Structure formats: C-alpha cells, structure tokens
Amino acid sequence: MKQQDVSRRIATPLVNPAYPPVVPRFTDREYLNIVYRTDAEALRAVVPEPLEIDDPLVRFEIMRMGDVTGYGPYTEAGQAIEVRHEGERGEYLHAMYLDNFPATASGREAGAFPKTVGSPALYVDHGTLVGVLDYGTQRVATATMGYKHHDLDPDEATAQITVPTYMLKMVPGFDGAPQVAQLVRTEITDVVVKGAWTGPARLQLFAHVLAPMADLPVREIVSASHILTDLTLAPVKPVHDYLAR
C-alpha cells in the first residue's frame, strides 16, 4: 500500500476501519430530555475553563436512533451541562454512553464526543416513557416521563436540539502527554421536528465508579421533553487551544 493510500484512510484498523466514511443522517431520532438542577460545586469540578456556569443545570438525555446512515439503529444516554462561552449560552457534553461500537469510535476519533460503552434503552411502559442506562450489569440511571401528556411547541423543541454544544478534543501522544487538547464547538442546523411533547418527569441516578453520573446529583427537576426528529450532525470547530503558547 502506497503512502498516499495510507494517508487517505480515516480510521484503524487500516483495511477494516471501525466506522464508515459517511456523514450520518439520523432518521426518527427520539429524545427523552430531563433538565435538572444540581450542586454548583459539582459542576465546577468537571466543567473546563474557559466555559462558565451560571444556573447549575444538567440535561439528562436518552436518544433512540431509529436509523442512522452507516451505523443502523442504536441507543445513547448522556449528560449535558448548561454553560456560557464568550457571552453565548450552550451546553457542555459531559458524558455519553451507547451500545454501538462504530458510533462510539467515530464519535471519539472523528469528532470530540465523550463516548464510551453502556446499555441504554428507551421504551413506553403503561403510559410512561422510560429511559434507563446500565453499565455492565449495574443500573446507573432511570428516567420516567408521562407519555405525550402535553404538546410542546415545535420551535421550542428545535431550540433545545440546536443549542450550541461544546466538547473537549483530547488526543494523547505516545509519551502520555496531550498532543491535542482543544475546546470545540458544534451546532446542529439541519433538523426536522416530527413531534414534541412535555409532561411530568422523575430521574434517579445511582453511584457507579466507572459511570459517575450520580456525581452530578438531582436536586430539582426543571423540565422534561420527548422529541422525535430527523437531523444531520454538524462539523466541529476549535474555539480554544489548551496547548497554545
């Protein structure tokens, strides 16, 4: 294989890449979002500068992907923290757990999404929308919401999905020191809201050393939403370089 051929490859293993060379389109992506207030001190311990925190709000999310170009269906759960950067309000992606290895690998390598393995699920049970996350055999989170109790304004649903998002892009060198350490920003613009609802909700987080969602404890439920969409992820761009001199 020629050098120029190697340089065109996007992922390892070289002849059997972990993820396909596609920009994924998400069809019937279904969200359960629960926004809750937590301890400000807990957020300050995990949110990197230069991001700033005002109200200590966290959005717990479960996303069931009906179909994704190149990856197929899968489910994902995570936490996003409300932040501010240079006067712009957005969310910092704190943690993401999913049950699809190619999507995990591409999210971390081609993007900057903080993805790792987990077993999330989203389903309806006796008039309740239920989202759960297991890590191995242990339950990490249980979220419940009244199923389609009230319609949610589509513009509000769109605003929730298209909020600017910040992430850390970390690439270690062979000596263990960071080779890339950047704060990056992305914002979804290509989205179609097919349905949106709100209702009462509850959230339980259980302590786990390798899935420490409960380190951001639930103090008060602020809002909840259930949204069905089609969308395409947008590219990321660096906004802060931690290694710049």
pTM for the model: 0.94
pLDDT tens-digit map of 26-52: 999 999 999 999 999 999 999 999 999
Q: What angle do CA 47, 167, 203 make, to 5 degrees?
A: 65
CATH 2.40.400.10: does it fit domain 25-233?
Answer: yes
pLDDT tens-digit map of 177-207: 999 999 999 999 999 999 999 999 999 999 9
| pLDDT band per the 50, 70, 90 thresholds, residue 6 | confident
Q: Catalytic residue numbers?
A: 115
Give the mean pLDDT of 141-145. 98
pLDDT tens-digit map of 65-123: 999 999 999 999 999 999 999 999 999 999 999 999 999 999 999 899 999 999 999 99
Contacts of 174 (CB under 8 A, 6+ apart): none
Question: What are the two backbone dihedrals, phi and then psi, of residue 170, each rounded to the nearest 5 degrees?
Answer: -120, 125
Give the per-residue pLDDT at 143: 98
Over the range 66-95, which residues count as b (16 or more CB within 10 Å of their CB) and which as e?
eebeebeebbbbbbbbbbebeeeebbbbbb
Give the per-residue pLDDT at 22: 86
